[in-house]
């Protein structure tokens, strides 16, 4: 068998994989904004909000500056008291955690399903206390969570569900788009997402009161509908207004996102087909009647079967010209020092040590708290994929995977 590139053999691939790119549509929309002279929040933003809401079949959409802002707006709608708890996923971006802590609420982490990496509804229910106010399921990599039991738990305990759809544009669960199943949905438009405006976020809901509260929270509590133009600030809120420049790019991206998703699904399905027979290498596990939209494509590497660690596997693939990465975020988000040590506001350990929460740091962030999460991350390897890849690119990835496993 051919020698591995990591051992001085010839690599499977020497040319780079295709990059994602923008086009004339984005340039045309941006030109309109520049010519209008309105760079801040203006007609383009309103148009983008309406189009995004229509795409998801909801009544309300609030555009904001980032995915973190979109989650923060949703948490602002929940309006937790200091020391209230919000249950989230341990495999997520720090932005989702920041949005909870910024409202002086306590993030509590439910373990994941060992097959999908998404939150386990049974562990969500185990983590509920009399302080719990909301659940934030994260649709990891574009793979929908099991939303029916999550919504049943929320209804049972009178909780608000905020779907974190940052990685899951147009993913579906039982015929419904993610973000429309819970009470609120939050999306990221960061540079790497299915839809991208550099930075940006969207918060959607079908609830009129929540929609009004979301708009107020993202704009300093300012309703902007006074007939005489008088300024008013009705609630506490942030300045998270999206600019017309972001919205211009977003409108062009909105017209492309269905193609982006369809391409990613087609290519991911081909890759799964080419490697699914390898014992000990597990492609993404998708729930029945769900549509995974593949913000990234991962495999689980079972070292006890394959005899190779995920880190060594990824290193060997990189030598073969395949830019793979092991372990995604490396460890559960609550084991990062900022969260683990609860050093948010100086040396105060607020909100964790707040008297309103009991004053004794009752929540603990420690190894072993979410064992399925640790195992899932330890086994995870990310393989490259975007909508501009060709079938030849996918076959090169599969060839390299088989070469490394075979050796």
How far is it, in rounded angstroms, from Cα 205 to Cα 222? 19
pLDDT tens-digit readout, 235-289: 899 999 999 999 999 999 999 999 999 999 999 999 999 999 999 999 999 999 9
Q: What percent of the chain has pLDDT over 90?
A: 87
Residue 341, pLDDT score: 86
User: Are 89 and 110 within 8 A, CB to CB?
Assistant: yes
| Separation CA 59–CA 128 (nearest Å) | 30
The arithmetic mean of pLDDT across residues 380-399, rounded, is 98
pLDDT of residue 226: 61
How much is the pLDDT for 95?
92
- Count of Cβ atoms closer than 10 Å to residue 405 Cβ: 18
Q: CA 305, CA 325: separation in Å to the nearest integer? A: 20
Higher per-residue confidence, 351 vs 18 = 18
Does domain 5-18+257-329+374-406 fall into CATH 3.90.1150.10?
yes
Share of the chain above pLDDT 70, in %: 98
| pLDDT band for position 228 (cuts 50, 70, 90) | low
**In the predicted model, what is the mean pLDDT of residues 385-391?**
98
pLDDT of residue 382: 98
Higher local confidence (pLDDT), 339 or 305: 305
Identify which has the larger pLDDT, 343 or 206: 206
For the domain made up of 24-255, give the CATH fold.
3.40.640
Phi first, then psi: give them for residue 398, nearest 5 degrees: -65, -40
Q: What is the pLDDT of the chain when averaged over all its residues?
A: 94
Residue 362 has pLDDT above 90, yes or no: no
Confidence class of residue 361 from pLDDT cuts 50, 70 and 90?
low
Task: Give per-residue pLDDT as tens, 116-172.
Answer: 999 999 999 999 999 999 999 999 999 999 999 999 999 999 999 999 999 999 999
Q: 95: closest CA among 230, 225, 174, 186?
A: 186
Categorize the per-residue pLDDT at 227 as very low, low, confident or very high, splitting at 50, 70 and 90: low
Q: What is the pLDDT of residue 317?
A: 98
For position 357, what pLDDT does the model report?
Answer: 75
> 166-199 as b/e, with b when 16 or more CB fall inside 10 Å?
bbbbbbbbeeebbbbbbbbbbbbbbeebbbbbeb
What is the residue-wise DSSP string for 264-279? Answer: HHHHHHHHHHHHTTST
Q: How many CA atoms lie within 13 A of 151 on its CB side?
A: 13
| Residue ranges covered by each domain of the chain | 5-18+257-329+374-406, 24-255
pLDDT tens digits for 319-335?
999 999 999 999 999 99
Burial of residue 157 (number of CB atoms within 10 Å: 0-12, 13-18, 19+): middle
Q: Do domains 5-18+257-329+374-406 and 24-255 have the same CATH topology?
A: no
Write the pLDDT tens digit of every residue in 25-73: 999 999 999 999 999 899 999 999 999 999 999 999 999 999 999 999 9
Residue 98 C-beta-side C-alpha neighbours within 13 Å: 9
The alpha-carbon radius of gyration of the chain (Å, integer) is 22
The pLDDT, as a whole number, for residue 358 is 66
Write the pLDDT tens digit of every residue in 305-320: 999 999 999 999 999 9
């Amino acid at each position: 068998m051919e020698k591995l590139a990591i051992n001085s053999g010839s690599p499977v691939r020497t040319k780079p994989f295709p990059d994602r790119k923008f086009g004339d549509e984005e340039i045309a929309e941006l030109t309109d904004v520049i010519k209008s002279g309105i760079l801040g929040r203006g007609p383009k933003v309103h148009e983008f909000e309406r189009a995004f809401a229509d795409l998801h079949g909801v009544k309300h959409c609030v555009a904001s500056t980032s995915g973190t802002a979109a989650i923060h707006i949703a948490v602002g709608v929940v309006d937790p008291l200091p020391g209230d708890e919000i249950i989230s996923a341990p495999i997520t971006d720090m932005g989702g955690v920041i949005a909870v802590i910024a409202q002086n609420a306590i993030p509590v982490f439910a373990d994941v399903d060992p097959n999908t990496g998404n939150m386990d509804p049974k562990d969500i229910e185990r983590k509920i206390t009399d302080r719990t106010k909301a659940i934030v399921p994260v649709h990891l990599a574009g793979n929908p969570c099991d939303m029916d039991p999550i919504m049943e738990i929320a209804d049972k305990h009178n909780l608000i569900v905020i779907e974190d759809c940052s990685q899951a544009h147009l993913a579906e669960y039982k015929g419904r788009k993610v973000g429309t199943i819970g009470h609120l949905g939050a999306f990221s438009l960061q540079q790497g997402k299915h839809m991208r405006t550099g930075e940006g976020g969207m918060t959607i809901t079908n609830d009129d009161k929540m929609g009004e509260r979301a708009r107020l929270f993202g704009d300093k509590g300012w309703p902007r509908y006074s007939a005489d133009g008088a300024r008013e600030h009705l609630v506490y809120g942030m300045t998270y207004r999206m600019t017309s420049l972001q919205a211009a790019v977003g409108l062009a991206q909105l017209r492309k996102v269905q193609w982006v998703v369809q391409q990613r699904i087609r290519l991911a399905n081909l890759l799964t087909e080419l490697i699914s027979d390898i014992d000990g290498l597990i492609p993404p596990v998708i729930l029945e009647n769900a549509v995974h939209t593949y913000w990234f494509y991962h495999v689980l590497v079972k070292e006890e079967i394959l005899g190779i660690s995920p880190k060594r596997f990824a290193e060997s693939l990189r030598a073969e010209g395949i830019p793979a990465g092991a372990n995604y975020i490396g460890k559960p988000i609550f084991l990062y020092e900022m969260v683990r040590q609860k050093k948010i506001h100086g040396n105060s350990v607020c909100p964790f040590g707040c008297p309103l929460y009991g004053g004794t740091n009752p929540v603990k962030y420690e190894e072993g708290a979410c064992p399925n999460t640790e195992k899932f991350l330890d086994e995870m390897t990310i393989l490259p994929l975007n909508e501009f890849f060709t079938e030849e690119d996918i076959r090169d990835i599969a060839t390299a995977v088989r070469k490394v496993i075979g050796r």
